[in-house]
Amino acid sequence: MAIKRKAVRTVESPSAATAAAKAPRPSSTSLDVEVLREIVQLLETSEVTRFSWQRGDERLLICRGPAGPTVVHAAPLGMHAPVPMAAPFAAPAPTPAAAPAPAAAVQKPGQLVTSPFVGTFYRAPAPDQPNFVELGALVKKGQVLCIVEAMKLMNEIESEMAGKVTEVLVENGQAVEFGQALFRIEPV
């Protein structure tokens, strides 16, 4: 759910809105479809296989292979898994209610729990104690899932929703990046 919301917020961000301003459409996505189509067409007639564009928090990455271009559009940078979108952009503007059928990465239900800072990930309160949660466990909202530590600053990360732990994405003791996904929690 969170991912869909972010994707919508992304395409409505003000930096992209300037591009859309010259051709306003009712309830349009601000990431101008015409501009995108032009870029894609331009790339198709060129030798370019990889096109990356960034402005502020927004990033556009187009990779072309034999099967045609794929477009990844993500924001804010590095905070969430990139959201792949189908191209060309013929579908109407995505809204939370009628988002286009999302690709693999967003197809999984539930919420990703991410790391608040660069640090070390611990699944247990101490090396000789059991893990806070195991794969498949049911968790309550506010239940502690793990600890991330940097410089003896401890952050007990809690689940923001009740649900089931369907993925444990990092091994105990491993270094994690800011925004890296740690768990997936699915509503039951």
Partner 1 sequence: MNTEALEQTHEELVLSFLVESGEDYASGEVLSGKLGLSRTAVWKVVESLRGKGYRIDAVPARGYRLVSVPDRLSPLELAPLLSTHDLGRTLHYVETLPSTNELAFRLAAEGAGHGEVVLCEQQTAGKGRRGRQWVSPKGKNLALSVILRPELPPQEAPELTLVAAVALAETLREAGGDATIKWPNDVQLGGRKVAGILTELSAEPDRVSFVVLGIGVNLNTRAADLPQELAETATSLAEARGQDVPRALFTAALLTRLESWLDRHAEQGFGPVREAWKRLSSTLGQDVLVRTDRAELRGRAVDIDVSGALLVRREDGTLERVLAGDVEQLRPRKDPLAR
Binding site for partner 1 (CB under 8 A): 79, 114, 116-120, 122, 125-129, 149-156, 172-175, 178
Which one, 44 or 160, has the nearer CB to partner 1?
A: 160
DSSP reduced 3-state for 18: helix
Structural contact between residues 119 and 147, judged by C-beta atoms closer than 8 angstroms? no
Which one, 25 or 141, has the nearer CB to partner 1?
A: 141
Rounded least distance, CB 125 to partner 1, Å: 5
Which one, 78 or 109, has the nearer CB to partner 1?
A: 78
Q: What is the DSSP letter of 23?
A: S
Rounded least distance, CB 83 to partner 1, Å: 17
74: nearest Cα among 93, 55, 98 = 55
Rounded least distance, CB 105 to partner 1, Å: 19
Which one, 158 or 186, has the nearer CB to partner 1?
A: 158
178: nearest Cα among 52, 80, 72 = 80
Rounded least distance, CB 152 to partner 1, Å: 5
The residue behind tokens 């905070």 is 79
DSSP reduced 3-state for 54: strand
Our CA angle for 5, 146, 126, nearest 5°, is 175
Which one, 2 or 39, has the nearer CB to partner 1?
A: 2
Q: 116 is written with which tokens?
A: 């608040």
Rounded least distance, CB 116 to partner 1, Å: 4
Residue 44's Cβ-count burial label (10 Å; 0-12, 13-18, 19+) is exposed
Rounded least distance, CB 107 to partner 1, Å: 23
Which one, 20 or 83, has the nearer CB to partner 1?
A: 83
In the chain, the N- to C-terminal Cα span, in Å, equals: 14
